[in-house]
Chain A
Amino acid sequence: MSRIEGVFAALRQRGGKALIPYITAGDPHPDQTVALMHALVRGGADIIELGVPFSDPMADGPTIQLACERALAHGTSLSRVLDMVTGFRGTDTTTPVVLMGYLNPIEAMGLETFALRARAAGVDGVLIVDLPVEEAPEAVPMLHAQGLDCVFLLAPTSSEARIDATVQQASGYLYYVSLKGVTGASTLDVGSVAEKLAVIRRHTRLPLAVGFGIRDAASAAQVGRIADGVVVGSALVEQIARHAQAPAALPQILRDQLGALRAALDALPASNP
């Protein structure tokens, strides 16, 4: 059982929900990322999605675009991101880490080299935003061979045929994009998300995490009622941006911010969707 499967199995047993924060590696500075990851764990993170900065993040809104620019300005390469995961694993051997990013930096390193190094660094899963299943027949076996879970996106526009093709390649969990838009949007429609999750559940038993549009405890609780996990990204990255010049306070700020979402999820009645 992978570390990610373990987390969801444990949560399922006690009827809890996964809290999955996203931050961009190297933002505001590469030296701070490991400390921020530990702060997220103390704030209640079950899994961490660590963004690999890219010069052209076409699926991201302005908040994460700027996070990428800050990280790249300090030379945050994929190689350095892997070093950060190694650093994190120095003291945390239990919290799964999923790298989330775009294909080009991974291909520049070489898929197989990346898979080997990611495993060695202690990465648990990979979500490549611009790699849909149709283009993934080489990448998926290479990542699986190193014990890495392949997390794929599903969206409101995904047809049942696409859902079917995607769940066959996916492992760990599925990331359902709650709305048509980019990261950081705020037009969450919980009713339509619930309907689509029901459709997806007819195709798979994989845990379903929902992201895009979750900004606070209230929206986390709404989504927590219908999903297995809740992803929060832009709302955290906004705080990082706000304190980029005085980052000493950031670990506590992120811990408190995430803690509010943790409390909201834990207050939900135990369920078994």
Chain B
Amino acid sequence: MIYQNLPDARGHFGPYGGRFVAETLMEPLRRLEEAYLRLKDDPAFRAELEKDLKYYVGRPSPLYPAERLTRAWGGAQVFLKREDLNHTGAHKINNTVGQALLAKHLGKTRIIAETGAGQHGVASATVAARLGMECVVYMGVDDVERQSPNVYRMKLLGARVVPVTSGTRTLKDALNEALRDWVTNVDNTFYIIGTVAGPHPYPMLVRDFNAVVGREVVEQSQDMLGRFPDALVACVGGGSNAIGLFHPFIEHDAVKMYGVEAGGLGLATGQHAAPLSAGRPGVLHGNRTYVMADDNGQILGTHSISAGLDYPGVGPEHSWLKDIGRVSYVTVTDDEALAAFHELARVEGIIPALESAHAVAYAKKLAPQMRRDQTIVVNLSGRGDKDIFTVAKREGIQLL
């Protein structure tokens, strides 16, 4: 199958994507798109970005052969793409470093961001500190509570964390609030969106900045295996780590891809965050995509043990990849993710983020169905230090 070069000029991935925002933001989005298209192939900009990724983020991240896990699961060889080893502990920094450079080139002096688990907030506060820019991070009050270590991290980095009390008090409401800030302060402010959602050009540029993950896997798998992996597995909330891994492989049909959504307490309970598996197309946060909504078009609250997956929408490119059947979207429950969290810690000595643990849990189901000479690459999108309080609390252990 030949895949078009998407998005198209209007930011559409098939019927998805686009720019569904109030008029005030249309011209700023057009200018951002214009600046990005000009800079992305500019040799000086590229050199600056590559330098930051190498010396500040610490790229490339290793492709780690998880031999004990492979033996334990009995089937395909499992490799972990170690995005957890990046500066700030997740793939999120790939995008914030890129968008910060855009902000600098656009002459902006103030950074805003939304965050769920806090990883994107930390990654935004980090790049803002480095550029000497003011930084405001919007975060739902419920997330402020369950991710308090990251809240403190952001404050240490000089950011102001604004708790959002509207709506369901989680990531989607933080995104609404960040958009309201941006529309008010659009002259001096750059909005660093943390995932491949939002209005065009964000789904495109966040994808492009994260695609370094997949490009490295292309090279690393050639070096280590002499061929491409047979399967890629990544968790999908908004979907930035998944699209980053998948994108360079999309045209290679032999490489199977699995996007793992948060099944929460199980799809049948309605308590989940799996719009691709159990939602319907709609419009949220500036783009058309699969969303979790009721029959009247009101966006539903979501549930996941992982704050970073707790979002009722998903990047529009994922919606398109689902419809054309290029990527299989599956779910993993809270309990399965938690079991994978422990298993990876005990078997490989790696504590994964609860988000990434969803990908690990699905790989565990997939590996035994594959041959021993086949390979799976799991995107270990972040480290789990931020989640130890959540896990301890859930297991009835009191820390501190």
Q: State the A residues within 8 Å of B (CB).
A: 54-62, 65, 69, 72, 77-79, 102-109, 129-132, 134-135, 152-159, 162, 166, 177, 180-182, 185
Contacts and interface: CB of A to CB of B under 8 A. Distances in A.
Given A56-B285, A153-B22, A157-B28, A105 B180 contact: no
Given A56-B167, A105-B297, A134-B19, 9 more contacts: A132-B26, A153-B24, A155-B22, A155-B27, A157-B25, A177-B23, A180-B183, A181-B183, A182-B183
Nearest to A163: B23
Which 10 A-B pairs have CB atoms at the shortest separation, nearest pair first? A108-B297, A105-B297, A155-B24, A153-B23, A59-B22, A77-B296, A181-B184, A157-B27, A104-B297, A55-B298
Interface string B290-312: 01010111110000000000000
A78 B297 contact: yes
B176 interface: yes
A162 B19 CA distance: 14
A135 B25 CA distance: 14
Contacts of B176: 56-58
Interface in B274-295: 282-286, 291, 293, 295
B180 to A, nearest CB: 5
A104 B293 contact: yes
Q: Which of B25, B26, B27, B286 has the most CB of A within 10 A?
A: B26
9 contacts: A58-B21, A65-B167, A72-B298, A104-B291, A104-B299, A108-B282, A129-B22, A155-B23, A180-B184
A89 B195 CA distance: 45
Interface string B242-284: 0000000000000000000000000000000000000000111
A130 B167 contact: no
A198 B291 CA distance: 41
Contacts of A154: 23
Interface string B164-183: 00110000110110011001
Contacts, number: 126
Contacts of A55: 167, 298-299
Interface residues of B, number: 37
Contact of A105 (B21, B26, B175, B296): B296
Contacts of A62: 166
A29 to B, nearest CB: 17
B172 A56 contact: yes
B69 to A, nearest CB: 40
A135 B24 contact: no
Given A157-B27, A180-B186, A130 B20 contact: yes
Contacts of B21: 58-59, 130, 132
B270 to A, nearest CB: 16
Given A62-B166, A185-B184, A134 B10 contact: yes
B22 A107 contact: no
Given A104-B282, A154-B23, A59 B297 contact: no
A49 B283 CA distance: 22
Contacts of A155: 22-24, 26-27
Given A58-B285, A130-B22, A177-B23, A106 B297 contact: yes
Contact of B283 (A61, A77, A107, A156): A107
B221 to A, nearest CB: 39
B187 interface: yes
